[in-house]
């Protein structure tokens, strides 16, 4: 599945039989050259406090607490399985969130906005805004995103992601700009993926919130992703809201890479 171009392997694990500790298998499935290929792996599991539970694993096998685009995909997946109709609560590592299906779009009502830090000088060359939107994000504001090449973003992203300031867990790193209409254009280097992804839901939440706090934009904020897809971020009584698509790309059975 993909949400705004952020793609995932999504598994029905209501039986809770998937070996979550099998890092090698998760890495193999997410590998784009020799596996299925994805920005992460998501398990749909039963929950004791919500309608369903989402567990999210990065391509390197590490589990993280939240993924905005992934949460929309798990909502669509649960609906396709007949588990939900219009609304569902989802248990995540960052808490219980609410999801609503609206035709081809899914609206997530997440947690309360966290405090932000501005103009943090992590290195002499990089001044960053910091905010946690379920996972930590460091944002660098630029005048022109097109001036940043893929290799350059990977280099700068890795430098900041692994900087001792963010140890031990590291951070996601975004570069963003705001256009004359208040729309935010976003590119993100994601930890765990260790590279740029075509979209990042928690990154969209981060740049939208920061743009509003910096008085560069107003809610609802339109966020333009690297994929060309659009996400919408809003505020609902102090709670973060993320809206966008969730699409089934293909269905199949994983054979653990065995060549028959």
Per-residue pLDDT of 1-47, as tens digits, reads 999 999 999 999 999 999 999 999 999 999 999 999 999 999 999 99
Residue 249 lies in a domain: no
Residue 140 lies in a domain: yes
**Annotated catalytic residue, options 30, 200, 225, 245:** 200
Q: Where are the beta strands (DSSP E) in the chain?
A: 2-3, 6-7, 9-12, 41-45, 52-57, 63-64, 87-92, 95-102, 105-112, 117-123, 126-132, 136-141, 172-178, 184-190, 195-197, 221-224, 230-236, 239-245
- Two tokens at 31? 């590998």
Residues 136, 99 within the same domain? no
Q: Confirm if 197 and 128 have CB atoms less than 8 A apart.
A: no
134 lies in which domain range?
Answer: 117-240
Domain boundary among 111, 143, 169: 111
Residues 132, 181 within the same domain? yes
The reported pLDDT for the residue numbered 150 is 76
Residues 121, 230 within the same domain? yes
The reported pLDDT for the residue numbered 104 is 85
Residue 255 lies in a domain: no
Residue 248 lies in a domain: no
Residues 60, 101 within the same domain? yes
The reported pLDDT for the residue numbered 160 is 96
Residue 250 lies in a domain: no
Domain boundary among 111, 131, 152: 111
The reported pLDDT for the residue numbered 141 is 96
- Two tokens at 187? 């590119």
Residues 47, 123 within the same domain? no
Residue 187 lies in a domain: yes
Q: Confirm if 74 and 2 have CB atoms less than 8 A apart.
A: no
Assess whether 30 carries a catalytic annotation: no
Give the total number of structural domains in the chain.
Answer: 2
Assess whether 225 carries a catalytic annotation: no
CA 18 to chain centroid, in Å, comes to 22
Q: Confirm if 1 and 243 have CB atoms less than 8 A apart.
A: no
Residues 129, 235 within the same domain? yes
Residues 70, 122 within the same domain? no
- Two tokens at 153? 């973003």
Calpha distance 104→228 (Å, rounded): 17
Residues 214, 228 within the same domain? yes
Residue 257 lies in a domain: no
Residues 228, 121 within the same domain? yes
Residues 135, 214 within the same domain? yes
The total of other beta-carbon atoms located within 10 Å of residue 165's CB is 15
Closest CA to 186 of 169, 195, 199: 199
Residues 6+ apart with CB under 8 A from 212: 218, 219, 221, 235
The reported pLDDT for the residue numbered 258 is 64
Residues 137, 203 within the same domain? yes
Residues 106, 138 within the same domain? no
Per-residue pLDDT tens over the stretch 132-150: 999 999 999 999 888 887 7
**Annotated catalytic residue, options 30, 67, 73, 107:** 67
Residue 121 lies in a domain: yes
Taken in order 5, 21, 190, 15, is the CA torsion positive or negative? positive
Domain boundary among 111, 136, 160: 111
Weakly modelled stretches of the chain, pLDDT under 50: 260
The reported pLDDT for the residue numbered 260 is 45
CATH number of the domain where residue 143 is located: 3.10.310.10
Q: How far, in Å, are 79, 151, 208, 259 from residue 175 at the CA level?
A: 34, 14, 12, 41
Calpha distance 232→1 (Å, rounded): 19
């Amino acid at each position: 599945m993909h949400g705004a171009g952020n793609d995932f392997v999504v598994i029905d694990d209501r039986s809770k039989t998937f070996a979550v500790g099998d890092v090698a298998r998760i890495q193999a499935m997410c590998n784009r050259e020799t596996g299925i290929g994805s920005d992460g792996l998501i398990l749909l599991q039963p929950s004791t406090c919500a309608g369903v539970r989402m567990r999210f694993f990065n391509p390197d096998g590490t589990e993280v607490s939240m993924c905005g685009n992934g949460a929309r995909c798990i909502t669509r997946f649960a609906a396709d399985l007949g588990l939900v109709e219009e609304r569902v609560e989802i248990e995540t590592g960052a808490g219980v969130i609410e999801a609503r299906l609206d035709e081809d779009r899914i609206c997530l009502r997440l947690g309360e906005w966290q405090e932000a830090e501005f103009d943090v000088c992590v290195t002499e060359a990089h001044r960053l805004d910091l905010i946690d939107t379920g996972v930590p994000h460091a944002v660098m504001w630029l005048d022109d995103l097109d001036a940043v090449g893929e290799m350059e973003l990977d280099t700068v992203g890795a430098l900041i992601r692994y900087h001792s300031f963010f140890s031990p867990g590291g951070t996601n790193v975004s570069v963003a700009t705001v256009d004359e209409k208040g729309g935010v254009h976003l590119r993100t280097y994601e930890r765990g993926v260790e590279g740029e992804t075509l979209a990042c839901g928690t990154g969209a939440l981060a740049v939208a919130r920061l743009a509003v706090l910096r008085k560069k934009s107003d809610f609802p904020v339109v966020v333009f992703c690297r994929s060309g897809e659009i996400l919408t971020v809003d505020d609902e009584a102090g709670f973060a809201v993320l809206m966008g698509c969730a699409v089934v790309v293909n269905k199949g059975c994983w054979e653990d890479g065995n060549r028959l």
